[in-house]
Amino acid sequence: MEFEHAYSRSSAVRHSANETGVSFSPDLTREPTYFSGRLRESIRFREAISALHDVVVSDLRFKPKDREAYKRWAAENEDRGLDALMAKEAALKAQIDELHAELSELNKRSHARMATFYRARQQYFDYLYQKDKDAWFVLDPVITVHPDQVFFECFSQDESTYGRLAASYEVFDHIGEHACGTTNVDYSQALYDEFQKIRTYKDTQLVVDPGGFEVDTSGEPTYKELKIDLPESWVRGFLQVNSAMTFPSARVRLHPYDLHNLCFVLRRKKELKGPRSMRWRLSPGEPVRVLMEPWNIEVECPRSIYEGDLDDEIRTWGRRRIHTLERLIPIAKHIDVLLLGTGLPTFYVADLGDMVFTLGLSGWTANDWSRAGNFDLMAPRRDVDELTKRRVFDELKETWYARADDLAARLSLDSAVVHGALSAYAQAGRVIYDVADEVYRVRELTKDPLPVDALRFANEREAEAARFVAAAQATMASADKSGGVTRITGTVADKSKKHEALLAIDDDDRLVDGRCECRFYQSNKLYKGPCEHMLALRMVFERRRRVR
């Protein structure tokens, strides 16, 4: 999937004795989106944007050691004697000493020249570390300007961690010109290094440069153009995160010190075997307790009282990714932990006063957002006609953000219809659910419409379910509603075998539970989304509901 970006120049930070200017260069091919404001909470912003950078560079995938150089050396020296090796070592040492002396002399002559050398060398090492330049371009974050806030979004390199930093307008002393919208911004390692120089005694100006759009088309504009062949996984990751955010969850409010204690245990201990999980033990009115496996160390959080209604125990994996939040502990008021269920994603929402940092973790590190979750298959799937969907989107764009129930009231539509329309736009990358404020927001992920069919049906299970329905191989036996949940039962003929399936759909059309006799469900439950038989049964149910 190819995307084209054009920037008038690289993003940059300029420093003076009493002022720091942070200028992001937006994508010229997008609709004009710009913002200008002077930071009132410069240190908090520095720490928060630095934590976002920790997400960007995070890659916890297993990386085997590269032993090729050693093997070549061993092969070359296998038949040589010790004397030859020692003679070669002495010769090399003499050469190294000679080079050191020469470099020292050059350094004395021209410090500026050596500084250039060191910078070039570091860039070379960074290039060797990255290797895959396409993956490097994916790391450019998405920035969105809204009437009430500016927010950045990004993914980690292993695509298992999602980060979002939202800064309300209260963060700024003075706000200049701004235009709402979404754009990609040029964001580099050098820019992060400059962020670390932000200080309280300097005024800091944050600018999403509006001048970048004032390019003289009659002349020869100076800009850099990037044509990037992005994998579909990058786009699907954003869609999966948004689908997961809308799901019911157990909410735990952690005190920053209690989060520090969890990180402290992980820093002190190193697991040599599994299970590598955190067991969240929740009892209403009691302090939250977290059992750290495999050491069986129970961390009690006396400052964090669980306010839920039922006793519960939820296991989460990929826990070392929470170290991203360590930098926010001194400036956070509290951290809300949203637990979707055992083995399912977890969201950490850090309240930083006038800023909110959201960290979304997939079920475990190797289970990245783009492929294994398939939460879009469990999201509301009510079919809504194009005219109604357009009415909902246009109404949302009037205010840029709103609750689904408020939109339903303003348009005199059923709440389930509005949720279905918003879900369709979310899966098309045009709307995002803000889990912190519990509102839907307009966020155009790309300037061109996404190939929704290619993204939505990248999973073969849904395509197979559609084939079952088309061939009349799915039969619904019953659909009973009680307690706000509709329980549907039926059979699906798959080749020579019939599978009994059951699924539960809530009033918001979300698939909240399901069972099936097939091998896929028996192996994965709902951790990787519903099986094709559940999906087929759901499609039949939707068809019957439309007929009524």
Q: Give the position of tokens 């290094």.
A: 193
pLDDT of residue 218: 31
Residues 6+ apart with CB under 8 A from 42: 20, 198, 199, 200, 202, 204
Strand order in the sheet with 401-402: 401-402, 439-442, 431-434
| pLDDT for the residue numbered 223 | 36
Question: What tens digit of pLDDT does each residue of 428-445 get?
Answer: 778 888 988 889 999 887
CA torsion, ordered 166, 168, 172, 173, to nearest 10 deg: -170
Q: Has domain 459-547 been given CATH number 3.10.450?
A: yes
- pLDDT higher than threshold 50 for residue 229: no
Average pLDDT over residues 322-329: 94
pLDDT one-digit tens code per residue, 305-324 = 999 888 999 999 889 999 99
Q: Which three-class secondary structure string do you get for 21-75?
A: EEEECEECCCCCCEEEEEECCHHHHHHHHHHHHHHHHCCCCCCCCCCHHHHHHHH
Higher pLDDT, 302 or 154: 302
Q: 240-377 has which fold?
A: DNA Polymerase III; Chain A, domain 2 (3.10.150)
pLDDT of residue 188: 66
Average confidence score pLDDT of the chain:
78
* Residues 23-75: tens digit of each pLDDT: 666 555 566 777 888 888 888 998 998 898 888 888 777 667 767 777 777 77
> Is this prediction's pTM over 0.85?
no
Q: Which residues share a beta bridge with 3? A: 228
Which of 132-146, 346-360, 498-512 is least confident?
132-146
Higher-confidence position of 304 and 463: 304
**186 vs 268: which has the higher pLDDT:** 268
DSSP 8-state class, residue 327: G
The pLDDT tens digits for 171-187 are 888 888 788 888 776 66
369 three-class SS: coil
Can you tell me the distance from the alpha carbon of 321 to that of 276, in angstroms, rounded to the nearest whole number?
12
361-420 pLDDT per residue, tens: 988 776 666 554 556 666 666 668 889 999 999 999 999 999 999 999 999 998 888 988
The more confident residue out of 360 and 423 is 360
Q: How far is the C-alpha of 239 from the C-alpha of 164, rounded, in Å?
A: 14
Residue 147 has pLDDT above 60, yes or no: yes
Residue 502 Cα distances to 183, 477, 533, 545, angstroms: 43, 10, 9, 17
Return the sign of the alpha-carbon dihedral for residues 84, 88, 91, 97. negative
- Sequence-separated (6 or more) residues with CB below 8 Å from residue 96: none
Rounded Cα gap, residues 535 and 494, in angstroms: 13
Query: What is the domain partition of the chain in residue ranges?
Result: 20-60+91-150+171-213, 240-377, 386-428+448-454, 459-547
Decide if pLDDT at 448 tops 70: no
Distance CA 346, CA 318 (A): 10
